[in-house]
Amino acid sequence: MQEFVFDFEVAGVFYSRAKPDADWMRWKETAAHIVTNQWLAQPDFLAQSAAYKLHWTTQRKWPEREQDGFEVLYEVDRRNRVRRRLALYDGSFLLAKVVPAATDE
C-alpha cells in the first residue's frame, strides 16, 4: 500500500493532511483558521494542492467523508507546535484526498 502525505508550503505556511503517526498530530489543536473560498483560490495554494481533491464538510458528515478517503487538512505551525483546521465561518472544515494520476491505456 502506498502512503501519501499531503505536505506543501505556501508563503511559509505548511499544510498537511491528518496522518495518525505524524509527530505534529500530537500537537495541540488550536482554534480553526477561518478562510474563504477566495482565500483557497490564491494561485500558490491552487498550484500546490492540484494533486488533491478538496472538499468542505460539517462535523455531522465527517464519518461519511472519511469512508470516502478524505482526511482533515491542517495548517501546521512547527515553531509553536500547534495545528489548526481550515474552516469556513459556518463551521465547515476542509478535507483533502489524493487524486489518482491519470494513466494511459
CB-based contact 7:15 (threshold 8 Å): yes
- Per-residue pLDDT of 26-65, as tens digits, reads 778 889 989 888 888 888 777 777 778 889 999 999 889 9
Separation of alpha carbons 42 and 47, rounded Å: 9
Report, as an integer, the average pLDDT of 11-31.
65
Report, as an integer, the average pLDDT of 6-15.
53
Look-up: residue for cell 505534529?
A: 24
Look-up: residue for cell 465561518?
A: 89
Q: Give the chain's end-to-end CA distance (angstroms, integer).
A: 22
From the list 100, 83, 96, 102, the residue with the least C-alpha distance to 5 is: 96
CB-based contact 95:65 (threshold 8 Å): yes
More confident residue, 59 or 100: 59
Report, as an integer, the average pLDDT of 60-76.
87
More confident residue, 25 or 53: 53
3-state secondary structure of 38: helix
Amino acid 56: pLDDT? 93
| Residue 20 scores a pLDDT above 90 | no
